[in-house]
DNA sequence: CTTGGAATGTCAACAAGCCTGACTTATTTT
DNA sequence: AAAATAAGTCAGGCTTGTTGACATTCCAAG
């Protein structure tokens, strides 16, 4: 297709525009993780622990398998993280009532406290960016992010929002 | 401030909305890196090599220090990556003419070929998302990403676009 | 002109985090 | 009883990041 056919409306799909978008994601992601990373420095934990805490807080009672698919890591990798969180009393693992093979994960008060500090730092950052960009930009932001996800990741993303505004 | 004061216009700043945005970034970033990761699997390199190749391609003749600030890693970490790329003949390091302490980085034809494959895969993914979301959404996407960057990162980001559309 | 500080880049050793593969235990389903 | 599922473990390896020590080069103050 020629330039005259596509017109100006598709100029946002040029290689240069896409390259700028890619770099924007890269730099923004650095800013995105900076705030919780600062909180983590004062603890013995890393990003992997943060992610686990976030999603357990998001859906209390979550099974280990669910967490595995969400995080997209291997069982061994998650298990090391989970073990330390359980040993340190931040997460509680309860045997399933219906199916005793399953373990359901909950935050202890200590775990909830740390998760709250991490989440608060990240939300603060996010809120500042949202406020600066405005509601319409945020709507577009969300649209592109959703389009960027794998279909499977998108399904997981949507499923976490059930019953929430 | 009360709900009646702020009205509906600030509902996008609620904790729940911010949390969803945070999760969207998380899942989208997985999709964002998936395409080049597939290309990398066929090579002996990792994401760190991809990032270095990307920015060297972006600004040929770039100094090592510049690359350090862009990537936000220690010079030792970058050096290992750079050393293998140079040894394998993907990157060329030339001593600075004015200042002989400096090393200027260039892609060899082989390096440019790999960079092109990586970049092409990622742009394809990005283009699909952009096309699906539309130009207005993309504009908002870029606005929020820029607001999410650290001021320093934002300066770096802008400086890479000098002379480009 | 020289000397000391600053900047640039390199090397060595080590830690964090994630991966694969093989295996165990307990439980549920067929 | 056999197969499948959920969770957890052990061993070993790779990538990416870290800190600390060091060589080279440049520049500016004495």
Tens digits of residue pLDDT in B49-107: 999 999 999 998 998 888 998 998 888 889 989 989 998 999 999 888 888 888 899 99
Domain count, chain B: 2
Domain housing A161: 134-165
Contact, A75 CB vs strand D, < 7 Å: yes
Instruction: Report yes or no on B5 lying in a domain.
Output: no
Answer yes or no: is B12 within a domain. no
Distance from CA of B100 to the nearest CA of A (A): 30
Question: How does pLDDT run across A99-120, given as a tens digit for each residue?
Answer: 898 999 999 999 999 999 999 9
Residues A100, A160: one domain? no
User: Which DSSP category does B91 fall into?
Assistant: E
DSSP E strand stretches across chain B: 62-63, 91-95, 103-107
Q: Crossing angle, helix B64-71 and helix B151-159, to 10 degrees?
A: 130
| pLDDT of the residue at A163 | 67
Q: Is the CB of B164 under 7 A from strand C?
A: no
pLDDT value at residue B76: 83
Nucleotides of D under 7 A from a protein CB: 5-12, 15-21, 24-27
Say if residue B149 is in the same domain as residue B74: no
Cβ contact, residue pair B141, A19, below 8 Å: no
Residue A58 shares a structural domain with residue A69:
yes
A24-45: average pLDDT: 90
Using CA atoms, how far residue A158 sits from B6, B30, B71, in Å, is 28, 15, 32
pLDDT digits (tens, 9 = 90+) for B104-147: 999 999 999 999 999 999 999 999 999 999 999 999 999 999 99
Question: What is the Cα–Cα distance from B30 to B46, expressed in whole angstroms?
Answer: 15
User: For a pLDDT cut of 90, what percent of chain B falls above it?
Assistant: 59
* Shortest Cα–Cα distance, A38 to chain B (Å): 14
- Residue A157, by phi and psi: left (phi above 0), alpha (psi -120 to 50) or beta? alpha
Q: What average pLDDT does the segment A21-45 reach?
A: 90
Q: Is A1's pLDDT higher than 70?
A: no
Q: How far is CA B128 from CA A122, A144, B6, B44, B132, in A?
A: 29, 10, 36, 28, 6
The answer to whether residue A88 sits within a structural domain is yes
Summarize the confidence of residues A137-164 as an average pLDDT. Answer: 92
**A9-30 residues labelled b (16+ CB within 10 A) or e (exposed):** eeebbeeebbbbbbbbbbbbbb
Provide CB contacts within 8 A for B4, sequence distance 6+: none
The answer to whether position A144 is within a domain reads: yes
The answer to whether residues B87 and B123 belong to one domain is: yes
Q: What is the pLDDT of residue A16?
A: 94
In three-state secondary structure terms, A87 is helix
pLDDT band at A58 (very low <50, low <70, confident <90, very high): very high
């Amino acid at each position: 297709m020629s330039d005259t056919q596509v017109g100006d409306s598709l100029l946002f799909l040029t290689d240069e525009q896409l390259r700028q978008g890619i770099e924007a994601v890269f730099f923004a992601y650095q800013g995105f993780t900076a705030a919780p990373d600062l909180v983590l420095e004062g603890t013995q934990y890393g990003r992997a622990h943060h992610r686990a805490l976030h999603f357990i807080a998001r859906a209390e009672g979550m099974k280990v398998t669910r967490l595995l698919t969400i995080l997209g890591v291997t069982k061994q990798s998650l298990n090391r993280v989970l073990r330390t969180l359980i040993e340190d009393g931040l997460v509680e693992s309860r045997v399933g009532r219906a199916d005793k093979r399953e373990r359901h994960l909950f935050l202890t008060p200590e775990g909830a406290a740390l998760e709250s500090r991490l989440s608060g730092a990240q939300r603060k950052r996010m809120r500042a960016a949202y406020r600066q960009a405005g509601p319409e930009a945020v709507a577009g932001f969300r649209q592109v992010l959703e389009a960027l996800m794998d279909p499977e990741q998108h399904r997981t993303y949507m499923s976490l929002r059930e019953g929430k505004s």
